[in-house]
């Protein structure tokens, strides 16, 4: 895949909001024919620009109203620890994101839980599977913004 042009970006902007937009409507918005849109989409899927089409759920309505961020300090500063940590967190479905931060010793985890007891279960499970240097948790009181949409045009 070459670089994305403005038409590609228009298509992506729409698909990021509504993945189920019919090609006809998409073509109208973008200013291209059905077919041209379709070809571009396929190319971007093949290139991995479009990773997946997914359904987003309301976390509260499926029983996971609480979001928690955990700040973690590694117990050991080596590749083995990281591998074990990565494997453990990837296997835990309540964990939405795991990020190694600048500093090389700090990790950030974002997870969704039902309540405090559920969080404690998550915490206990995690420290049982991987030795932790230090763990602190902050809970989300209010989700002011939450989006999966990436900006594709210069501000």
Partner DNA sequence: TGTGAAACTGACATCGC
Partner DNA sequence: GCGATGTCAGTTTCACA
Interface residues toward its own copies, by CB under 8 A? 4, 12, 15-20, 47-59, 61-62, 64, 67, 69, 85-86, 89-90, 92-104, 106-108, 112, 121, 125, 138-152, 155
- How far apart are CB 24 and DNA at their closest, in Å? 5
Distances (CA, A) of 141 to 49, 57, 147: 34, 19, 17
- How far apart are CB 35 and its own copies at their closest, in Å? 19
- How far apart are CB 54 and its own copies at their closest, in Å? 5
Cβ-proximal residues to 110 (8 Å cutoff; 6+ apart), any chain: 67, 68, 69, 70, 95, 96, 97, 98
* 70 interacts with, out of DNA, its own copies, none, CB within 5 to 8 A per kind: none
147 by DSSP, 3-state: which? coil
Size (the chain), residues: 155
* Separation of alpha carbons 73 and 77, rounded Å: 10
Q: Which of 6, 18, 25, 77 binds DNA (CB under 7 A)?
A: 25
Interface with DNA includes 50 (CB under 7 A)?
A: no
User: Between residue 82 and residue 121, which ones bind DNA under the rule CB under 7 A?
Assistant: none
Angle in degrees, 0-180, between the axes of helices 6-17 and 34-46, rounded to the nearest 10? 80
Q: Which of 2, 136, 147, 148 binds DNA (CB under 7 A)?
A: 2
Contact 112, 96 (CB under 8 A): yes
Binding site for DNA (CB under 7 A): 2, 7, 22-25, 31-36, 38-40, 42
């Amino acid at each position: 895949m070459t670089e994305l042009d403005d038409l590609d970006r228009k298509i992506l902007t729409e698909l990021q909001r509504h993945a189920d937009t019919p090609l006809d409507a998409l073509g109208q918005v973008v200013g291209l024919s059905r077919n041209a849109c379709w070809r571009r989409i396929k190319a971007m899927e093949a290139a991995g620009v479009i990773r997946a089409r997914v359904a987003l759920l309301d976390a509260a309505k499926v029983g996971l109203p609480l979001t928690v961020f955990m700040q973690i300090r590694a117990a050991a500063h080596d590749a083995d620890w990281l591998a074990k940590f990565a494997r453990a967190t990837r296997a835990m479905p309540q964990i939405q994101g795991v990020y190694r931060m600048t500093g090389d010793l700090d990790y950030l985890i974002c997870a969704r839980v039902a309540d405090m007891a559920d969080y404690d279960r998550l915490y206990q499970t995690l420290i049982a599977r991987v030795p932790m240097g230090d763990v602190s948790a902050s809970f989300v009181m209010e989700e002011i913004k939450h989006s999966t949409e990436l900006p594709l045009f210069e501000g």
